């Protein structure tokens, strides 16, 4: 049966790290909305220019733009056996849009659809954000406190330069959290009411969180 998984949680809750592992475990794609949008920005398209204005302010990208990108990606052949969706939906409006996208893609086929919420305290999240670095070449994520590179400023995997995203600072982080709790937190109740939601404690080592995640998605 096709498995469709979505992951909810505030910025820096660890969804990206765990869903990359899970995608490899199941053998189907991890669809990272942020990466899709950044690719759109890098292309210099009109949609990318609009997205950049919102992302730089820590605000949500317009729903129509995100919906277009997601629908196109989930329609590709590598998603026909399943996918993991990270970063979408981020509002009730987007959740309803996802239902329409899934109906279009899946038709009457039976699907195992589940949502998982990554629960982490705010102080932990702020620390993760300000200490986060990413490889400019391969995209590998590091944390200066919990997952520091072996050589300062260099990626362990490819040797690329580690950079800090412009919005990975405390001021912008607080703006992102304000947006998250206003727009996205209601999705927890939305999926709980649909009886497809599980919640995991996402504070701990990567391996600890991984074991908790497997228990609710397998």
- What pLDDT digit, counting tens, does each position of 163-197 carry? 998 878 888 888 888 888 888 889 999 999 999 99
- Asked whether the beta carbons of 88 and 66 are under 8 A apart, the reply is yes
- Determine, yes or no, domain membership for 62: yes
- Mean of per-residue pLDDT scores for the chain: 89
CA atoms within 13 A on the CB side of 184: 22
Q: Residue 36 pLDDT > 80, yes or no?
A: yes
The residue-averaged pLDDT of 193-202 equals 95
Number of folded domains that form the chain = 1
Specify the pLDDT at position 165: 84
Specify the pLDDT at position 218: 84
The CATH number linked to 208 is 3.40.50.300
Specify the pLDDT at position 17: 84
- Determine, yes or no, domain membership for 179: no
| Residue listed under structure tokens 């733009």 | 65
Specify the pLDDT at position 96: 93
Specify the pLDDT at position 193: 95
- Determine, yes or no, domain membership for 155: no
- Determine, yes or no, domain membership for 156: no
- Determine, yes or no, domain membership for 144: no
- Determine, yes or no, domain membership for 58: yes
Q: What is the pLDDT of residues 91-111, one digit of tens each?
A: 888 899 999 999 999 988 999
Which token pair is 142? Answer: 């590091």
Q: What is the pLDDT of residues 127-158, one digit of tens each?
A: 888 898 999 999 888 989 888 999 999 999 99
Q: Residue 25 pLDDT > 80, yes or no?
A: yes
Annotated catalytic residues are 15, 90, 132, 165, 176
d(C-alpha 193, C-alpha 206), whole Å = 29
Q: Residue 21 pLDDT > 80, yes or no?
A: yes
Note down the domain range covering 43: 2-122+185-217
- Asked whether the beta carbons of 118 and 5 are under 8 A apart, the reply is no
Helix, strand or coil, per DSSP, at residue 84: strand
Helix, strand or coil, per DSSP, at residue 56: helix
- Determine, yes or no, domain membership for 69: yes
Radius of gyration of the chain from Cα atoms?
A: 17
**Single pTM value for the model:** 0.74
- Determine, yes or no, domain membership for 94: yes
């Amino acid at each position: 049966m096709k498995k469709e998984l979505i992951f909810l949680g505030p910025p820096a809750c660890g969804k990206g790290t765990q869903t990359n592992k899970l995608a490899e475990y199941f053998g189907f794609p991890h669809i990272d909305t942020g990466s899709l949008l950044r690719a759109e920005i890098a292309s210099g398209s009109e949609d990318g220019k609009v997205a950049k204005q919102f992302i730089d302010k820590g605000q949500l990208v317009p729903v129509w733009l995100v919906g277009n990108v997601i629908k196109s990606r989930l329609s590709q052949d590598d998603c026909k056996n399943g996918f993991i969706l990270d970063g979408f939906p981020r509002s009730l409006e987007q959740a309803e849009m996802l239902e329409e996208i899934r109906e279009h893609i899946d038709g009457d086929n039976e699907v195992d659809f589940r949502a998982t919420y990554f629960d982490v305290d705010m102080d932990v999240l702020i620390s993760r954000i300000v200490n986060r670095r990413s490889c400019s070449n391969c995209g590998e994520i590091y944390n200066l406190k919990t997952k520091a590179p072996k050589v300062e400023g260099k990626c362990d995997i490819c040797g690329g330069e580690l950079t800090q995203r412009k919005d990975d600072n405390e001021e912008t982080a607080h703006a992102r959290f304000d947006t998250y709790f206003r727009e996205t937190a209601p999705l927890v109740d939305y999926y709980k009411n649909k009886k497809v939601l599980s919640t995991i404690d996402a504070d701990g080592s990567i391996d600890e969180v991984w074991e908790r995640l497997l228990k609710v998605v397998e």
